[in-house]
Amino acid sequence: MEAGSQDYYRIKSTLSLKPLVDFWNRSTPQPGTAQAMLQESIRERVAKAPELVNPIEDLSILERHQDLVADLMTAVFPPAFWDCEVIGAVVPFTLEPFYVSPMFRLLYVEQDGTLVGPLDTGRGIFNRARLIRFYLLVLSNLYGIEREFEYPMVRTVKDPDTGLDRYLKFRPDLRFVEVHPLPGAPEQLTDIQRQQILNHLTEPEVLCEVLPPMFFRISGFTVIHGVDVTQSEVLAALQGDLVGRESMFAQGGILKVQQKLRTLFCKPDLVTGVAAIEGDRVLLMNTGCETTCSCFFTGSQHFPVSEFEGSVFDRAIKQGKIIRVRDLALESKRTVTEEEFLAAGARSLMVIPLFYEGNPVGMLHLGSPHPGDFGPTEELLAGQIVPIFSMALKRALTEVDIQVERIIKEKCTAVHPSVEWRFRKSVFEHLERSGLGLKSELEPIIFRDVYPLFSATDIRGSSDARSRAIREDVAEQLMLGLQVLKTAWEAKPLPILGELTHRIGVYLDRVQQGLGAGDEVPVINFLRQEVEPIFPLLSGAEQTIEAYEEALDADLRTVYRRRKDFEESVSLLNERISGYLDQEEAEAQAVFPHYFDKHQTDGIGYVIYVGPSMVENGSFSELYVKNLRLWQILVACGFAWHCEDLKRTLKVPLETTHLILVNHSPHSIRFRFDEKRFDVDGAYDVAHEIIRSRIDKATVGGGKERLTQPGKIALVYSRPEEAREIRRNVDFLQAEGFLKTDLESLELDDLPGVQGLKGLRVSVDLASAALAERVRRIAASSTLSAAGVQGAANL
């Protein structure tokens, strides 16, 4: 017979009570005892019923001798456990019961005598486990190979009282099973066979080749003990559901979780709800919120956190412990939330707060229509499911965050942390509308009545310095090329060398007169395309050619000395003051959150927006705006100190100017999704942007002098109250030793489209010990400097 056929794996098995009778015959109870009398009675009765010792094909034999069988089985099933345990006996290596306890029969035996409920492990796996047990029994009884094997066999049935699933693990006991070799069975195993068996003990296909099952017969019976593993099985299933992606949040997923919780708590009427806390929203998923989507956000109902204030849910989160309500109807102080639960039919309630790494992520609530359904036992059991629900909820919230961040990055690129809450709120509302099947785009994001603060530190004359460096580099390269041609002419006076020399002279004259934007490109192209290609042909000019090549930058193939020095100096200066600004800004954010945008060119500029609409909870005071205006002057002092300190180490000494625009009028700003940036909203507010873009060119005295001067801070304003605040701040910082006493009041010349501006200008005391101390301390400080705090208090 082929190994692949079904019959090849069939085990010959017969029911027999002979191993049990032999047990009774071997036992030696104390003479005169009840056990001895029972043993003697059994022996006499078995002698009159020889069919019980022979293989039993017809189970009616057992019915004819049921009293005797019951007495025999007392050796296996103690009478004290018979009425309360799930125990029984089956034909060996089958699922055919012949003697079972009342509880076993109630749960697992059909009317026709067969077992109910599918095997959770699956039929194929069960057969493999059955074969492995069979072979381990054969090997142990006939060939002296002892090995342990434990494979759980779990069956699921409906509890007759609750209608809920119950899980029992069957543990087979093979003590009353005998193995009989049939013709063809080997008496002994060869070393090769033994080794092959040991190497493949869990592979029935291999074992069947060595020891075909048709060579053996099994007789006796298998004892089965059923152990209730409902709790462990449900907890494992819940963990699988909650850990698996989307399982709880897919269509019908919460209903499956609810059914498992009903089984776990043994309450068929239990109702489950899961709620997540996301910012100022509560995302509630319960059986009343069915959806065809598998996203936690769009598959849940959303409520503001404020709706739950004072409720049992609010108390559970704040107290961080499970709260049980014995009867909602008897609660004297019910919030709207409790009223809604009561109206829905819930009488008793258990709210389980969920935390992840110490932070609240949501809650699980269990409701029942029966008062007093949740006691200390249920609370203890609920504690076992907290970790898996907390982790599942945290993962769901993380996925929501990822979805929100993806939309924000797609629509808005990077968003400043101080206003991220507003973008998240807009995205959430967009997702809510989309979840309802409505056409939706992100709503306009506008912050109204915010105060703008602007400041800029520029490198004085950076454009002229850069043009001068370019001009000097180009002139040097032309001079080096000219020297090569003159040396080559002296060695061999070719007319073409004279012509090239003449053209270099023309270019030199142009360069010395000044270069416009891009004027150096034709010069460099001339040298590269017409002068440098003839170098290999020139004799006697090797040293000058070598000098020319050594002067060129290896990557750019041009003379880049002065430009490199200038760019490195600008970069070092920008890095120094930009890093300092970041340190100052971090501390300012800690005092009060505000929108901050920094830009860097030849210097550093920044804009700040602050106002009640930019704070998520709306808590705001103008004191914070005044503090920031004072802070701006302090930062400008720090800039001036750093620039002066760095000047002596720069290859190109640079002078910097410092400008602050003061405006007490609140503005509205709108996020431009097409440009992915904030801009003013409204014609009036545009005027401020125009002023901001032009005041760096402001002059005084009919254009004779620039407003901004090195070592000084220029403050531009337009209203008297703005001037008064500036003077108070300057007076304070002069007293603190940061500013000199040379405050100037200036009338600014009109700019294109801008009239009526005024300015105050004051020098920074660069030699001030107080300023030096503050600047050096700011990197290690976690709050605003003492001067800043005191200044804010003085306002």
Q: Answer yes or no: do 81 and 211 share one domain.
A: yes
Q: 544: pLDDT confidence band, cut at 50, 70 and 90? A: very high
Tens of pLDDT, residue by residue over 548-579, are 999 999 888 999 999 999 999 999 999 999 99
Q: Is residue 460 part of a domain?
A: no
Tens of pLDDT, residue by residue over 771-791, are 999 988 886 663 333 333 333
121-135, 185-199, 291-305, range with the lowest pLDDT: 291-305
Q: Answer yes or no: do 209 and 245 share one domain.
A: no
Across the chain, which distance is largest between two alpha carbons, in Å?
A: 144
Residue reference for tokens 């094909």: 57
Q: Which one of 499, 528, 563 terminates a domain?
A: 563
Q: Answer yes or no: do 587 and 632 share one domain.
A: yes
Dist. CA 459–CA 450, nearest whole Å: 30
Q: Answer yes or no: do 545 and 577 share one domain.
A: no
Whether residue 672 has pLDDT greater than 70: no
Q: 737: pLDDT confidence band, cut at 50, 70 and 90? A: very high
Dist. CA 787–CA 729, nearest whole Å: 11
Q: Is residue 354 part of a domain?
A: yes
Tens of pLDDT, residue by residue over 252-272, are 677 888 888 998 899 999 998
Q: Answer yes or no: do 259 and 398 share one domain.
A: yes
E strand map for 77-134: 86-90, 97-100
Q: Is residue 776 part of a domain?
A: yes
Q: Which one of 518, 533, 563 terminates a domain?
A: 563
Q: Answer yes or no: do 471 and 367 share one domain.
A: no
Q: Is residue 159 part of a domain?
A: no
Burial class (CB in 10 A: 0-12, 13-18, 19+), 765: buried
Q: Answer yes or no: do 518 and 617 share one domain.
A: no
Q: Is residue 195 part of a domain?
A: yes
Q: Is residue 689 part of a domain?
A: yes
DSSP structural state of residue 417: G
- Confidence at residue 289, expressed as pLDDT on a 0 to 100 scale: 39
Which one of 101-115, 388-402, 625-639 scores highest in mean pLDDT?
A: 625-639
Burial class (CB in 10 A: 0-12, 13-18, 19+), 225: middle
Q: What percent of the chain has pLDDT over 70?
A: 84
Q: Answer yes or no: do 363 and 236 share one domain.
A: yes
Q: Which is it for the CA torsion 385, 391, 392, 396, positive or negative?
A: positive
* Mean local confidence (pLDDT), 328-344: 87
Q: What percent of the chain has pLDDT over 90?
A: 35
Q: Answer yes or no: do 578 and 556 share one domain.
A: no
Please state, rounded to an integer, the average pLDDT across all residues of the chain.
Answer: 83
Q: Coil, helix or strand for 236?
A: helix
Residue reference for tokens 């270099």: 504
Taking a C-beta distance cutoff of 8 angstroms, is the pair 447, 316 a contact? no
Name every residue whose Cβ is closer than 8 Å to that of residue 771 and which is 6 or more positions away in sequence: 637, 638, 641, 737, 738, 764, 765
Query: Structural domain of residue 249, as residue ranges?
Result: 232-425
pTM passes above 0.85: no
Token pair recorded at residue 237: 């299933």
Q: Is residue 638 part of a domain?
A: yes
Tens of pLDDT, residue by residue over 223-248, are 988 888 888 888 888 877 776 655 56
Q: 161: pLDDT confidence band, cut at 50, 70 and 90? A: confident
Q: Answer yes or no: do 559 and 569 share one domain.
A: no
Alpha helices in 344-461 (DSSP H): 376-412, 420-435
Report the DSSP pairing between strands 699-700 and 705-706: antiparallel
Q: Which one of 193, 219, 245 terminates a domain?
A: 219
Q: Answer yes or no: do 255 and 139 share one domain.
A: no
Whether residue 290 has pLDDT greater than 50: no
- Confidence at residue 786, expressed as pLDDT on a 0 to 100 scale: 35
* Mean local confidence (pLDDT), 637-646: 93
Whether residue 353 has pLDDT greater than 60: yes
Tens of pLDDT, residue by residue over 572-620, are 999 999 999 999 998 898 888 888 888 888 889 998 889 888 787 778 8
Tell which residue, 65, 72, 66, has the closest CA to residue 43. Answer: 72
* Mean local confidence (pLDDT), 658-664: 93
- Confidence at residue 703, expressed as pLDDT on a 0 to 100 scale: 80
- What is the residue type of 163? G
Q: 304: pLDDT confidence band, cut at 50, 70 and 90? A: confident
Tell which residue, 623, 591, 605, 626, has the closest CA to residue 729. Answer: 626
- What is the residue type of 216? F
> Comparing 202 with 662, which gets the higher pLDDT?
662
Tens of pLDDT, residue by residue over 363-416, are 999 999 999 999 999 999 999 889 888 888 888 777 776 666 665 555 555 566
- Domain count for the chain: 4
- Confidence at residue 783, expressed as pLDDT on a 0 to 100 scale: 39
Provide the CATH number for the domain around residue 345: 3.30.450.40
HSE-CB at 247 with a 13 A cutoff on CA atoms is: 14
> Comparing 532 with 667, which gets the higher pLDDT?
532
- What is the residue type of 451? Y
Q: Is residue 774 part of a domain?
A: yes
Tens of pLDDT, residue by residue over 40-91, are 888 889 888 889 889 998 888 898 898 899 999 988 988 888 888 888 899 9
Taking a C-beta distance cutoff of 8 angstroms, is the pair 676, 739 a contact? no
- Confidence at residue 270, expressed as pLDDT on a 0 to 100 scale: 92
Whether residue 682 has pLDDT greater than 70: no
- Confidence at residue 685, expressed as pLDDT on a 0 to 100 scale: 56
Tell which residue, 703, 752, 489, 730, has the closest CA to residue 629. Answer: 730
Q: 286: pLDDT confidence band, cut at 50, 70 and 90? A: low
* Mean local confidence (pLDDT), 136-158: 84
HSE-CB at 221 with a 13 A cutoff on CA atoms is: 29
Q: Answer yes or no: do 639 and 788 share one domain.
A: yes
Name the region of 437 (left: φ>0; alpha: ψ -120 to 50; beta: rest).
Answer: left
Alpha helices in 200-294 (DSSP H): 204-210, 230-243, 253-265
